[in-house]
Structure 1
Amino acid sequence: MSELLLQRLERPAGGAVDKNGAHMNRQLYDIIRQEILAGTLVAGSKLPASRMLAKEVGVSRNTVLYAYEQLLAEGYVTASTGSGTFVSHSFPDHSALHHGKAQSGTTPVPAVQQNPNRFTLSRRGQHLVSHASASDRQWGAFVAGVPDVSLFPHAVWARLLNKVWRAPRPELLTYAHNGGYLPLKRVLAEHLRLVRSVRCEPDQIILTTGIHQAIDLIGRLLADPGDKAWMEDPGYWGTRSLLTNAGIETLPVPVDQEGIAPDAAMLQDPPRFIFVTPSHQYPLGMVMSLPRRRMLLEYARQRGAWLVEDDYDSEFRFEGRPLASLQGLDEHDRVIYMGTFSKTLFPGLRMGFMVLPKPLAPHFATAQSELFREGQLVQQAVLAEFIEEGHYATHIRRMRQRYAQRQGLLREAIATRFGADWPTSTHEAGLHMVMHLPAGTDDLGISMAARTQGLSARPLSRYYSDTSTPQQGLLLGYACVPEETIGPAFHKLAEVIEPALEHLARTQRPRPVLGAATINREAWSGA
């Protein structure tokens, strides 16, 4: 296989294999995958050990590990600890397909004619699957964005659930309508008013199965194919996937220390939507400044754009009071506010909400019932009592203290291993932090190598749409990692990070982390 790879890997001027480019990861994956699909690598055949193949081809071992891990995740290969990596038996025998005979047994028939397009996805489906970023790991060190579900007050929830189930009203056991359970919307409106300065009435709230459903409804009801949406770059991959799949053009907009920062040229071409995470930018962590918020609101008012505020984890702010929402500053009904209980309670609950301008809310309620035939009214009734009895606020206070402690332990582990001045994201809030890496570091290779150690470390570069200016780093979630395991787990991760940094130092001078974008303040009002 090494000879094949050496022949097909792209080489820069001079003839040597480019050992450092991030595209080498993908090249290796593509070549091996193509050989499996072509039948050259038959089912059951063993792939070379990653260390040996890296040496023979002349790339880092992390590069090979990435290719193997991606093939494993997509089912092209199987792996057995101590035995190696093998081509999966779940793939058809391609040689038989290409040389198969018709049922008469005499005339060869091309496979595509035997069953044309049998398993072909649409172009939209192919794009969605090939760009998927959802992880199969949702627990442990250092999974980002997942709360510690083991500390959820299960006994309290069970008591309330039993109370509802003892004499369930028939309307709780049928389909939901009008945007969800009214008593929950009432207590939620009061909670949002007190904690997030959100200004709304219960009938402006639509209860959803999470932020993804909220984005889906926004795209379906307020946009036509070809409309444009500004997205923070880096930003949440889920939003980008949903909008792209709906035919909405997503335009990456850089962020600086004050938040989303479109340049003067972008401001001249207003989008249909502006998606932002103002209270805790995802994934970098900065908070949108008040002047930037006011400029954004005025721009949306002047240009008729919709501001979509994703307030995904603002409850977990470790210093001072939580900042007021962008929606609370809006005087012209241009903000759609989204929130979720996945971070505060547990993801499996699958419950979130959106706060809409009054004229939009009934249309969204109708569309939700028409498209999704919502239910979960029993869970909504339990959650209403959970909030009303004060358990929700108590749980958030308790978890805020634990998460702050865990973040501190992770920062301490980074400082101990890499120095107190190692660049990391802000520490004021959230369920994850970013450990920045020197420009040119193979953060994707590190992430894949970490998986082999049972660790999760999402590569920061994968959150950028503009691949010409990505920063390298690792997203490290600490919320679902017990205090006593944070130090040992990071020690294992450091054993993966350090070889990549040494490889970078040997092959090129590390470049500084890319600077943040700047904004032309005058352009907002003059655009």
Structure 2
Amino acid sequence: MRSLLSDLILQRLNGISAALPGTLNKRVYQALQQAIFDGSISPGSRLPASRDLAKELDISRNTVLAAYEQLQAEGYIQTRTGSGTFVTADLPKDGVIADKTATQCSPVRSHVTLSRRGSQLLTRTGVASHQWGAFMPGVPDVTQFPHDIWRKLQNRLSRRLHPEFLTYSRHGGCPPLQQALADYLRVARSVDCTPDQILITAGTHQALDLLAKMLCDPGDVAWIEEPSYWGIRNVLSVNGVETHPVEVDENGMNPPESAPESRAPKLICVTPSHHYPLGSVMSLARRQKILAMAQQQGSWIVEDDYDSEFRYSGSPIPALQGLSSDAPVIYIGTFSKTLYPAMRISYVVLPRPLASRLKIAHSELYRGGNGLTQLTLAEFISDGHYAAHIRRMRLIYGKRRSALTRLIEQELGPEFVCENSNAGLHLILSLPDAIDDVALSAELEQKNVLTRPLSAYYLRPAPRRGLLLGYGCVPEEDIGPAFAHIVDCLKRRLQRQGATRHAEKVKTEPDANLPDPA
């Protein structure tokens, strides 16, 4: 005949079995824990012997013993030699029970105060709620990644993985990856470096964060391109660095002839091979000017070479870093555009005077890791798979860019195509000044068309309007239907704004059901 305690536990077990399936000993533990917490088993009560309870419940004694051991380890019960097992008189107040409805939640803070820098960061953030789909800029076609090749390499390497690659990195990254990158960059980007100058980071943001912390003091100045990627501004600003926008034209950043000695920049951040977002290429004269200024002012040039592999005509543009020996250039590259963003592997080519100290700082602040991924990537590069993947993707992206450019010219007119650099993973749809590109981008997002307003990339009031259209992650057959939403929304706005001069240039006739101009 079962005891009242056995009946109680059976009843609890049935409820837990339905709501929280799991191992039997875990359910027995949960049933006893609930009964103790809600007072069904009072503090100080004696529990049945494990053998007796197991017999009454018709389960294994080991199951009951496991539940008792867990309860004892968490302080709910205690064993007295020669007397038996008892519920603890003073129960723990921070216990966790399976039935969340049986606990009382502690009050949650209604107001949380962030730091001034933290609050400013949140007001300037540009992270989108969606990171995939037409026409999200800066995103490659991750569906084309050669998973089979990668998996074979990784499986083979994992079977004989040295413990060195499973612990914290002591070298600023995986040495085979540093060697593979030095060899690749020397040929593909004309970067002059040795493996010991390369630091592997978890993305470009981490690299910039390290540079801001180690090379700048709060209040120091950094020159950034105007317009530029807001992520650079945010990383610098949150570290207390004052960002000074420098205008970009068709020849790249156009720096002033000189800067006041007291306000000379510690960092000069540029994208010389393919400006983001306008697409211009920095001329040789500008490169030499900026190098000379950096040498004279004691500045460091931060060269972000984010997508230089994707140039669809002509020869690749050599990196600024390789223009002169011992140039004060810190070169940053990434695999986010060539492979996939979630890999979170970027690399920094550091000038020799900085290399050892910044590697130590990186290890102290962030701790290196992902040894197996880095080792796999090293072989992926060394075996030629990386170069082959880039060649294949260059053809795919080139076709998509051409298709999108043709659509813009056919549907809207050639004046809507911004400077065509014929490179990268996005182009700019130029808009009339009367069009609010921020509002247009928000409207398109409601139709699942993801664009970026050009004006958001300016730190000062934007002198021009436009939409960044990323074609990297859009199959060619999907470009037309997605672009049709842009044409429809834009034509409506052109009419509402009374921009008749531009509306007349639109090649297609307005639909009859469009509203009259305001």
- Fold-level similarity (TM above 0.5): yes
Cα-Cα RMSD:
1.8
For the structure 1 residues 425 and 364, does the alpha-carbon distance in structure 2 shift closer, same or farther, using more than 3 Å as the test? same
Point out the structure with max Rg over C-alpha: 2
Tell me, yes or no, if the aligned pair for 2:266 and 2:299 is still in contact at 8 Å: yes
Query: Letter of the aligned partner of 1:146 in structure 2?
Result: V
Tell me, yes or no, if the aligned pair for 1:279 and 1:288 is still in contact at 8 Å: yes
CA displacement, residues 8-52 of structure 1 (integer Å, 9 cap, x when unaligned): xxxxxxxxxxxxxxxxxxxxxxxxxxxxxxxxxxxxxxxxxxxxx
Counterpart Cα distance in 1 of 2:218 and 2:248: 26
Question: 2:281 maps to which residue?
Answer: 287
Question: 1:6 maps to which residue?
Answer: none
Question: 1:305 maps to which residue?
Answer: 299
Question: 1:340 maps to which residue?
Answer: 334
Tell me, yes or no, if the aligned pair for 2:255 and 2:290 is still in contact at 8 Å: no
| Cα distance, 1:457 vs structure 2 | 1.1
1:429 has 2:429 as partner: no
Question: 1:466 maps to which residue?
Answer: 460
For the structure 1 residues 367 and 117, does the alpha-carbon distance in structure 2 shift closer, same or farther, using more than 3 Å as the test? farther
Counterpart Cα distance in 2 of 1:346 and 1:308: 23
Tell me, yes or no, if the aligned pair for 1:210 and 1:351 is still in contact at 8 Å: yes
CA displacement, residues 266-323 of structure 1 (integer Å, 9 cap, x when unaligned): 5774211110000000000000001110111111111111110000000001111211
Tell me, yes or no, if the aligned pair for 2:494 and 2:500 is still in contact at 8 Å: no
Summarize the alignment of residues 205-220 of structure 1 with structure 2, pairs less than 5 Å apart.
Answer: 205-220=198-213
Match of 1:184 among 173, 177, 181: 177
1:452 has 2:449 as partner: no
For the structure 1 residues 393 and 509, does the alpha-carbon distance in structure 2 shift closer, same or farther, using more than 3 Å as the test? closer
| Cα distance, 1:505 vs structure 2 | 2.4
For the structure 1 residues 116 and 488, does the alpha-carbon distance in structure 2 shift closer, same or farther, using more than 3 Å as the test? closer
| Cα distance, 1:332 vs structure 2 | 3.8
Tell me, yes or no, if the aligned pair for 1:317 and 1:428 is still in contact at 8 Å: yes
For the structure 1 residues 482 and 221, does the alpha-carbon distance in structure 2 shift closer, same or farther, using more than 3 Å as the test? same
Summarize the alignment of residues 96-495 of structure 1 with structure 2, pairs less than 5 Å apart.
Answer: 118-264=111-257, 266=259, 269-467=263-461, 469-495=462-488
CA displacement, residues 238-279 of structure 1 (integer Å, 9 cap, x when unaligned): 000000000000011111110111334757742111100000
Question: 2:88 maps to which residue?
Answer: none
Q: What 5-or-longer segments of structure 1 have no aligned partner?
A: 1-113, 511-527
For the structure 1 residues 359 and 294, does the alpha-carbon distance in structure 2 shift closer, same or farther, using more than 3 Å as the test? same
For the structure 1 residues 368 and 422, does the alpha-carbon distance in structure 2 shift closer, same or farther, using more than 3 Å as the test? same
What's the secondary structure of 1:485's corresponding residue?
helix
What's the secondary structure of 1:476's corresponding residue?
strand
| Cα distance, 1:175 vs structure 2 | 1.3
| Cα distance, 1:116 vs structure 2 | 8.2
For the structure 1 residues 310 and 504, does the alpha-carbon distance in structure 2 shift closer, same or farther, using more than 3 Å as the test? same
| Cα distance, 1:492 vs structure 2 | 1.4
Counterpart Cα distance in 2 of 1:424 and 1:494: 16
Counterpart Cα distance in 1 of 2:282 and 2:401: 21
Q: Which has the higher contact order (CA 8 A, sep 6+)?
A: 1
Question: 1:57 maps to which residue?
Answer: none
Runs of 4+ in 1 over 2 A off after TM superposition: 114-118, 262-270, 330-333, 420-423, 503-510
Question: 2:85 maps to which residue?
Answer: none
233-242 or 172-181, larger mean C-alpha shift: 172-181
What's the secondary structure of 1:278's corresponding residue?
coil
Question: 1:498 maps to which residue?
Answer: 491
Counterpart Cα distance in 1 of 2:226 and 2:147: 38
213-222 or 118-127, larger mean C-alpha shift: 118-127
For the structure 1 residues 497 and 267, does the alpha-carbon distance in structure 2 shift closer, same or farther, using more than 3 Å as the test? farther
| Cα distance, 1:115 vs structure 2 | 8.9
Query: Letter of the aligned partner of 2:389 in structure 1?
Result: H
Question: 1:110 maps to which residue?
Answer: none
Counterpart Cα distance in 1 of 2:451 and 2:224: 23
What's the secondary structure of 2:118's corresponding residue?
helix
Summarize the alignment of residues 513-524 of structure 1 with structure 2, pairs less than 5 Å apart.
Answer: none
Counterpart Cα distance in 2 of 1:367 and 1:398: 38
For the structure 1 residues 496 and 183, does the alpha-carbon distance in structure 2 shift closer, same or farther, using more than 3 Å as the test? same
Query: Letter of the aligned partner of 2:334 in structure 1?
Result: T
Tell me, yes or no, if the aligned pair for 2:494 and 2:502 is still in contact at 8 Å: no
| Cα distance, 1:171 vs structure 2 | 1.2
CA displacement, residues 77-130 of structure 1 (integer Å, 9 cap, x when unaligned): xxxxxxxxxxxxxxxxxxxxxxxxxxxxxxxxxxxxx99884121111111111
Task: Give the paired residue count.
Answer: 396
CA displacement, residues 444-466 of structure 1 (integer Å, 9 cap, x when unaligned): 00000001000111000000001
Tell me, yes or no, if the aligned pair for 2:438 and 2:453 is still in contact at 8 Å: yes
What's the secondary structure of 1:218's corresponding residue?
helix
**Normalising to structure 1: TM-score of the pair?**
0.73
Query: Letter of the aligned partner of 2:398 in structure 1?
Result: A
Tell me, yes or no, if the aligned pair for 2:280 and 2:421 is still in contact at 8 Å: no
**Normalising to structure 2: TM-score of the pair?**
0.74
Counterpart Cα distance in 2 of 1:154 and 1:242: 32
| Cα distance, 1:324 vs structure 2 | 0.7
Query: Letter of the aligned partner of 1:378 in structure 2?
Result: L
